[in-house]
Structure 1
Amino acid sequence: MGWSNPFKEVATSRPLFLTIYATVIIGLLVSSFYVFSAVFSGSNSISSSSWIVSGANATESPSISFHPVSDSSIHVVAGVTLDNTSEHRESLQPIWKAPAPGSKMPPLETFKLTKELAGKRVKDNVIIVTFGNFAFMDFILSWVKHLSDMGVDNLLVGAMDIKLLEALYWKGVPVFDMGSHMSTVDVGWGSPTFHKMGREKVILIDSFLPFGFELLMCDTDMVWLKRHRVNMLTSVIYMFVWVLGIAMFCMHDSVLMPLAVENPLPYLARFPEADVLTSTDQVAPTVVDDRLDDWRLAGAAYNIGIFHWRPTPSSKKLAKEWKEMLIADDKIWDQNGFNEIVRKQLGPSVDEDSGLVYAYDGELKLGLLPASIFCSGHTYFVQALYEQLRLEPYAVHTTFQYGGTEGKRHRLREAKVFYDPPEYYDTPGGFLTFKPHIPKNLMLDGEHNFDSHFALVNYQIKQIRTALAIASLLGRTLVMPPLWCRLDRLWFGHPGILPGTLTRQPFICPLDHVFEVNVMLKDLPVEEFGPDINIREYSFLENPYMPQEVKDSWLDVHLCQEGSPGCGVSNSTNPAGILKFPKRSTEETETEERFRRRMKRYTGIWCCVGDHRPGHIYYDAYWDEKPGWKAKPPRTPEEDHPPL
């Protein structure tokens, strides 16, 4: 039934519903004014973000204001005042503003870490820091670009060698000298130099805290994710739902609805009582929204790749003790040392709502950043936990991966969050891509076990093997296809997927779950392994940085019978734009033998069978040539080697 006289209906309604109607109408008017003002204010991505926070996750009631947001506004987020005045912003040197041509490099002493140097990069008393050596230059540039694209410029990079220091300076990236005099090459995970880098992190934290600034310390192998900006219409709808929620007395206890949900700092500011906020290796969700992870359920290690410190007496005491521990024993891994110290005491909760817990000395207030939105390599690349919980991720750290630094880089490229130079997207010789065919029964039928997993993966390996052979003969770069798996890969025994996780079966698994990415990207001796075969990630052609002219320059490849007209190993096409390629052209003896040796190096292992030592099973690129091949771990140490 329609309203014949809506005003009469309202007038005769109960007082409760009159309140609801009035609240909704007023809320819509106010929120519409707020949205239009924010959208057309012309301010940047940070200063144009006004945040609405419920008080459940803050120890103080937030100040909520509805007004046009301008460059001179001061935001209040969860009780913490964020000064975004234009005068303060303009005091920061713009990122990427390179020194004037012909200018000279300042003396090295200029880059020494001091409170004055750090203070030049501070905004709202917060500074974001990462560090590394020249081997991680591309990771660092990617890290900086993600933040600068969000409009976040209160950042600083620590250079562990002079080569990196000079390179960043000439690119206009804020940098300081750590005085480490470290090698410029990749040191490798777990090496003595790797552990030295870990100690440098602790020394940095201990050095920054006395300056009185809040410190967001990050590893270089993580990226901040630029989240989707909410458009004007969606904002109005969100505001309507929010206001209606107030009217119906059903406010969610952790609602946070910004217009531009990208800058991570307001999230951290929701927990002003926290001394330390840390990421974790937790893979099973302990919460299903954006609250802090439940410390009582999060049993995994605290991961120090994303780390927020406030300069409180407890945090300073912790940093000092942690530093002294690592200096006294250089065999202790920095992360293990932190976990050991901070878990000396764990509990009770600070209060009922914030999610913080008393830790370390009983005074330190610790918070665990939710693994669903401050993601590990597992919750982001394998589970896509944020997607399943309908959340927007803030960051991803490339943990839970295989293949060293090359594997980390490839993971980020698969996710389209790594910044590469233009030449990466348009290489000489061109690209080769193919659409794999996978029968439905291999994907979905039967139980998810060793046999069904290897049947699915082996089927794909055979197709990839053929594609790599064609790419090798044509001198083209192969765009790898998405790879489907039915079982997860870890470095310890497990039943196929980890209990409690939201891992879907089957799922698109990272390339390093099956292939040795570090070997595929390595220069192998041509005389033994044939010419290098360059590869690109499966999402390569979908990357927004891919030039349109490259996307438009397609050729169709048809496999043909050797000896038939127009069939030969060549990049020449027929008038219809079709490249014909002989089916058996990979079988020239010398070329094939070198290619076979290369392929045998490319495949990796699945890990691990729980009740067997060793528990890994080797993938075999030529499984189809071995009748009766079956997935099983090596029975003896003599059998524990890649397939021959």
Structure 2
Amino acid sequence: MASCNTFPEGKPLFLVIYATVVAGIVFATLFILSTVYFPASDANPLSFLHFSSSATPPSLPDIDFTRLRKGNGSFDSEANRNATANIPPPTAKPRNMFTRDIWDVPVGTKMPELKSFRLTKEMLEHWAKENVIIVTFGNYAYMDFILTWVRHLTDLNVYNLLVGAMDTKILEALYWKGIPVFDMGSNMDTMDAGWGSPKFHKMGREKVFLINALLPFGYEVLMCDTDMVWLKNPLPYLARFPEADVLTSSDQVIPTVTDDSLEVWQQVTGAYNVGIFHWRPTDPAKKLAKEWIDLLVADDEIWDQNGFNDLLHKVLGPPVEGESGLVYAFDGTLKLGILPASIFCSGHTFFVQAMHQQLRLEPYAVHTTFQYAGIDGKRHRLREAMLFYDQQAYYDSPGGFLTFKPNIPKSLLLDGPHTVESHFSLVNYQVMPPLWCRLDRMWFGHPGIMIGTMTRQPFICPMDHVFEVNMMLKELPEAEFGPRIDFREYSFLQNPLVLKEVKESLLEVQLCDDRSAKCQIANETTRRGVLRFPKHSTQQMFIQVFSLYKDVKVLQFSSMEDVFQGFTDEAREEKFRKRVKRYVGLWCCVEHRDRGHIYYDMYWDEKPGWKPEPPQTREDDRPPW
């Protein structure tokens, strides 16, 4: 097993990173720390939206969300009055928000009045299919997630969907994009609501208000968070359980079934997750929704998901007669089913365990839970799985891309027991994704992987297990930290959304021994798309050689080991080091320790005697920068 303190042939890890940076400088930006890199763009990430308009549609009966939030029980009568409103049929079929297809961009220049976007019976009648409506909601911070969510459904030929807008900015943006949207009247700001924050809890409560508003209309509601995507049409699966009042996803990480049956409810220990759940408009379901919102209104400290779980566990059992897998819950009359986590996947069963692959099942959905680095970590996980839809500029950067072929010794990957020491030896050897890990990361102490799960060792772990993706994307002052270092996910060049001309504009860079007479840079080698390049090259050599290939889209190095001598500009090197020190996170956690986490250190190999150990004191408990 390789030592934790040395790099192969005694070469420090940071020289490998330096080499990647210098090659990227020639491409007009720094490209490091990743299988693929790209230059920063000052463009608005939503600049592809078309800000045109259509004529104002007629005013329609609406749901008053302000009255619903008072928690005074008025939503039943209010919603039922709207549900039974006598709406005269239109005399014409203009191409407005109710008659045009999804993704049909409005024409004209005028934005309809805000009241036109209230949730109405007509809106639901138009978009529901076979009495089912699929709903998500969010603020402008999740705009690209919502577009991805809609795109996956429409690619599956599922169009019975609606999106609730929590601020006017996203309402307008979705309207101009051709997405069926309604105003929730939430008056939220447009920033990300970090997990556990007051805004996060407010978003959860808005979901409960929305369920109470929708059920009286008489439609089945498949409610989803925006940080999930659909991979297969779920409606036929849900229709297999017509007796169910509620079908919910869960945080279960240990499989209770090996096929596509519902989870065995007696064996489920994970929380029921409200990020994906299906409601039928039955009396028990309406009663649950009513008591749920009453519970949250009465106590601002209750998290919506905890309240949901507490109510369902008031009564749990006996099972519903038959082989359905349903169970009586809540008040003893509600029929509950728990969706299998192998195919209605969490962030753990999909990205870490790959449970669906091991059981040879087709997943219906993946919800980006069990992850780190906030919204940036969620987005990057979906990108790694090639499930996120970015604007086209993301796939064709004017600065080009840099990639290399990793080569991990078998001894680090497979030999010996899976311990903290062997895990850090493996991770510290690698420069960037795909990252192999021996140990899982959680937020509590564990023996390496969760007992009973299907986690293989080693496994390709998500980037946010090791790197602080949110910090890598943060705008740090260039005067202090040097130029921004942009990156792409490890699967980028395999993504079918990357243009063929980008993938084919490739120069293969083969490293050779700089002491060998055969290691010559000659023009004729490039005609075959291959360039021989000497190891231990200087910064000037990188600039001299690769400035000749600035029109090439992809540089693919055979390796990054020993390729670069180091920076010649000491000030630039210091800024670079200061930046990348902040890029790595921590592993969690050693069992039975008050402080069981261990910080990754980008420059571990410069510290004699460094060992992967938890902080010994409170003063030691800080990142190594």
Task: Identify the TM-score tier after normalising by the shorter chain.
Answer: 0.7 to 0.9
SS in 2 for 1:120: helix
Assess, with a 3 A threshold, how the Cα gap between structure 1 residues 567 and 283 changes in structure 2: closer, same or farther.
closer
Which residue matches 1:35? Answer: none
Aligned counterparts of 1:295 and 1:607: Cα–Cα separation in 2: 29
Alignment map for 1:461-500 (pairs within 5 Å): 464=431, 480-500=432-452
Assess, with a 3 A threshold, how the Cα gap between structure 1 residues 449 and 337 changes in structure 2: closer, same or farther.
same
Alignment map for 1:409-424 (pairs within 5 Å): 409-424=379-394
Which residue matches 1:365? Answer: 335
1:564 deviates by 11
Residue 167 (structure 2) pairs with residue 161 (structure 1) = yes
CA contact (8 A) 2:229 2:367 kept: yes
Residue 90 (structure 2) pairs with residue 96 (structure 1) = no
Aligned counterparts of 2:421 and 2:322: Cα–Cα separation in 1: 48
1:632 is aligned with what amino acid? E
1:135 deviates by 0.7
Aligned counterparts of 2:575 and 2:538: Cα–Cα separation in 1: 24
Q: Aligned to 2:483, which of 531, 549, 561? A: 531
Deviates most, 587-596 or 92-101: 92-101
Which residue matches 1:455? Answer: 425
Structure 2: which 5+ runs fail to align? 1-97, 510-532
Number of residue pairs the alignment of both structures matches: 499
Per-residue CA deviation, residues 214-261 of structure 1 (Å, 9 max, x unaligned), is 000000000001xxxxxxxxxxxxxxxxxxxxxxxxxxxxxxxxxxxx
Which residue matches 1:105? Answer: 111
Aligned counterparts of 1:572 and 1:109: Cα–Cα separation in 2: 57
CA contact (8 A) 2:404 2:556 kept: no
CA contact (8 A) 1:277 1:308 kept: yes
Which residue matches 2:188? Answer: 182
1:209 deviates by 0.4
Which residue matches 2:241? Answer: 271
Aligned counterparts of 1:315 and 1:335: Cα–Cα separation in 2: 16
2:619 is aligned with what amino acid? E
SS in 1 for 2:260: coil
Aligned counterparts of 2:499 and 2:118: Cα–Cα separation in 1: 41
Assess, with a 3 A threshold, how the Cα gap between structure 1 residues 113 and 366 changes in structure 2: closer, same or farther.
same
Which residue matches 2:583? Answer: 602
1:523 deviates by 1.1
Aligned counterparts of 1:355 and 1:313: Cα–Cα separation in 2: 21
CA contact (8 A) 1:142 1:418 kept: yes
Aligned counterparts of 1:568 and 1:159: Cα–Cα separation in 2: 49
1:567 deviates by 5.1
CA contact (8 A) 2:586 2:599 kept: yes
Per-residue CA deviation, residues 308-360 of structure 1 (Å, 9 max, x unaligned), is 00000000000000001111111111101100111101111002410000000
Aligned counterparts of 1:338 and 1:515: Cα–Cα separation in 2: 33
Aligned counterparts of 2:99 and 2:319: Cα–Cα separation in 1: 39
CA contact (8 A) 1:376 1:396 kept: yes
Tell me: higher relative CO, structure 1 or 2? Use CA pairs within 8 A at least 6 residues apart.
2
Q: Aligned to 2:466, which of 506, 509, 514? A: 514
1:566 deviates by 4.9
Residue 566 (structure 2) pairs with residue 585 (structure 1) = yes
Which residue matches 1:298? Answer: 268
Q: Aligned to 1:142, which of 133, 148, 154? A: 148
Aligned counterparts of 1:135 and 1:143: Cα–Cα separation in 2: 14
Root-mean-square deviation (Å) = 2.0
CA contact (8 A) 2:567 2:573 kept: yes
CA contact (8 A) 2:165 2:182 kept: yes
CA contact (8 A) 1:413 1:537 kept: yes
Aligned counterparts of 1:562 and 1:488: Cα–Cα separation in 2: 37
Assess, with a 3 A threshold, how the Cα gap between structure 1 residues 508 and 202 changes in structure 2: closer, same or farther.
same
Q: Aligned to 1:280, which of 235, 250, 259? A: 250
CA contact (8 A) 1:562 1:568 kept: no
Q: Aligned to 1:501, which of 449, 453, 476? A: 453
1:617 is aligned with what amino acid? I
TM-score (norm 1): 0.75
Which residue matches 1:436? Answer: 406
Aligned counterparts of 2:574 and 2:106: Cα–Cα separation in 1: 53
SS in 1 for 2:290: helix
CA contact (8 A) 2:402 2:556 kept: no
Which residue matches 1:634? Answer: 615
1:565 deviates by 9.7
Q: Aligned to 2:396, which of 426, 429, 432? A: 426
SS in 1 for 2:223: strand
Aligned counterparts of 1:565 and 1:140: Cα–Cα separation in 2: 46
1:573 deviates by 3.7
Which residue matches 2:22? Answer: none
